[in-house]
Structure 1
Amino acid sequence: MARSDSLVTVFGGSGFLGSQVVRALLRGGHRVRIAVRHPNLAFESQTQGRVGQIQRVACDVRDDTQVAAALEGATAAVNLVGVLFESPWQSFSALHGDAPERIAKACAKRGISRLAHVSALGADAGSSSKYARTKGEGEIRARAALKSTTVVRPSVIFGRGDGLLNRFASLATVSPALPMPGGGETRFQPVYVGDVAEAVSRTVDDPTAAGKTYELGGPEVLTLRQILELVNHETRRDRALLPLPAAAASALGLMLEPLSWVGLAPPLTRDQVALLKVDNVVSQGAPGLADLGIEATGVEAIAPTYLWRYRVGGQFADMAPA
């Protein structure tokens, strides 16, 4: 149990993963300050803790003054800020590279030694993907500013509200085929959002986690084809799986990217195609969930609990009429 006077500032605590990390920290007894650009988006977390255990503050991680204010009085911090695609308002460089360094420097200045920085599996400062490259640069810059920074690298994350299985399942409701950029042979190690959140919380509490890098993956390695087959099975649909050569996928990404200019999420970008050229699995021997005392949850145990909504007839579609 955390000390009653411990205060953890969570940057980016209102999103899919952020809300779960906040919940895990609250279970651990921490007081939590959720620092996000739009505090109203974190309203659901307000009911998760005791009276006075949660505070929401407005913070743009691109602003030194706001970051410093968000860390006032904190004993630890968690950085979850990131985007999957760039837009005219949010760049990979600003959020994945500059922000981790800014937060780490602010922590160091205030004597905060515990910082958990959530990056991504495959982060590499030498990657051809700008997403992976800036993620790798962010890790390096955060550690340079605060050596005790703990880096957490999850593989693709699944769970209710995810952007992985839900995206393909939604596409299956309107399209006769599901595209497989690169032929569908890229390997992933999907990890449950609840496991990632608990891992982040435990690194905050565990002094031996300081300065370490944890790679988080689930119990199974699946190809993109296998993930789409799972979606077909759970949605009770029989969509064709369409291999898409890298060149064709990049061309499609180029056409879809302008959606970000009007505030929409592109289903595919050229940078994501570049990411799909490299497997997204845990490195052999890397510290992971087991080292934090967490048993990994399989995707097949969780996916049916939320993909049923995409079936014709909904949750009870398989039940025979009385």
Structure 2
Amino acid sequence: MVTTNGRIVTVFGGTGFLGHRIVRRLRYRGFPVRVASRHPDRGHGLFGSDDPQLQSVQANIHDEQSVADATAGAYGVVNAVSLYIENGRETFHSVHVESAQRVAAQAHRAGVERLVHVSGIGADTASQSQYIRKRGEGELAVQAAFADALLIRPAVMFGPDDAFLTTILKLLRQLPIYPMFGRGLTRLQPAYVGDVAEAIGRVMQNAETPSMIFELGGPRVYSYEELLRAIARQAGLAPLLIPIPFAIWYALTWASETFPSPLLTRNQVELMQIDTVSSPEMPGFIELGISPHSVEAILQRMLSNSR
């Protein structure tokens, strides 16, 4: 294992779904880690309190001084903060553009050597989806503030305690007739969250990795319908899949979004109309020496553990 020479890495969003796994991969590689989040007490439950090389600090990515304090003295910074549903001050623009720029600018000011910014496959400033559009704007803002930043674009991530595979499985079990988004033709390439965390650990450790974009997609591209059938098959289910036109889903979001915590948003429906598949022209898991796990393999493990 390459020595890390006590070089601290700050992980923003380090208690999140991807973030806490990044922290673990960095610690495995010997990096002292500063877990920066709004709720540092969550770190004790995730990591315990007996590791002297692991520090949990309170940090708010909307606040300049807070970000500056968290990046001070760090060798590397990972921004793994993400937002999927807007709520008040927490908007796609404030989180994925303004705060992403803030973290990058403060990292540059602090003399940080390695900045890894987590974005998403398909990030595009011209996208019809506001979420994807702001991801694209965020990447440009990060690169303008920190020219040597490395961008990580995962596909939709899955794994234990996720909001993707777990939700689909729960609904398949509850609904004998399953309503699909459109005709189920949208293409997806789900990536195991542990593989994404491993990729970030390797990128952080290998100082020779130049500034570039990695697109991290799993070993198989599914249509949405194929993915639903694969999940159902693993769970021993045989649901009836019914296509529902996107126009009807949009009408449902109009009603849903009148509630404080909507079950369905226009953004979610928009995302289900857009393919999220890694580009063969972009480096990814293979270039990092990682053989990604399949949905079926991880789901089988999750089902076994739940029994």
TM-score range (shorter-chain normalised) is: over 0.9
Contact 1:169 1:307 in 2 (8 A): no
> Could you report, residue by residue, the CA deviation over 1:72-115 in whole angstroms, capped at 9, with x for unpaired residues?
11111000011111112411111111111001100111111310
> Could you report, residue by residue, the CA deviation over 1:118-141 in whole angstroms, capped at 9, with x for unpaired residues?
000111111110110100110000
Q: What is aligned with 2:108?
A: 108
C-alpha separation in 1, matches of 2:143 and 2:119: 12
Contact 2:234 2:296 in 1 (8 A): no
C-alpha separation in 1, matches of 2:235 and 2:89: 35
Distance 1:129 1:302, change over 3 A: same
Unpaired stretches in structure 1, ≥5 consecutive residues? 316-322
C-alpha separation in 1, matches of 2:178 and 2:168: 7
Contact 1:235 1:308 in 2 (8 A): no
Q: What is aligned with 1:7?
A: 8
Contact 1:22 1:45 in 2 (8 A): no
C-alpha separation in 1, matches of 2:250 and 2:21: 33
Q: What is aligned with 2:26?
A: 25
| 1:39 match: secondary structure | coil
| Residue 208 (structure 1) shift | 3.3
Contact 1:104 1:146 in 2 (8 A): yes
Q: What is aligned with 1:255?
A: 255
Distance 1:257 1:4, change over 3 A: farther
Q: What is aligned with 1:271?
A: 267
C-alpha separation in 2, matches of 1:178 and 1:53: 47
1:175-214 matched pairs, under 5 angstroms: 175-214=175-214
Contact 2:178 2:240 in 1 (8 A): yes
1:107-256 matched pairs, under 5 angstroms: 107-256=107-256
| Residue 308 (structure 1) shift | 5.4
| Residue 267 (structure 1) shift | 4.1
Distance 1:223 1:2, change over 3 A: farther
Q: Percent identity?
A: 38
| 2:26 match: secondary structure | helix
C-alpha separation in 2, matches of 1:205 and 1:113: 11
Residue identity matched to 1:151 = L
Comparing 276-285 and 132-141, the one that deviates more: 276-285
| TM-score normalized by the length of structure 1 | 0.90
C-alpha separation in 2, matches of 1:53 and 1:99: 27
C-alpha separation in 1, matches of 2:42 and 2:200: 21
Q: What is aligned with 1:319?
A: none
Unpaired stretches in structure 2, ≥5 consecutive residues? none
Contact 1:166 1:307 in 2 (8 A): no
C-alpha separation in 2, matches of 1:56 and 1:289: 29
C-alpha separation in 1, matches of 2:258 and 2:75: 42
| 2:68 match: secondary structure | helix
Contact 1:168 1:178 in 2 (8 A): no
Contact 1:153 1:214 in 2 (8 A): yes
Distance 1:57 1:42, change over 3 A: same
Aligned residues: 306
Q: What is aligned with 1:78?
A: 78
C-alpha separation in 1, matches of 2:127 and 2:143: 19
| Residue 254 (structure 1) shift | 2.4
Q: What is aligned with 1:44?
A: 45
Root mean square deviation, CA, Å: 1.7
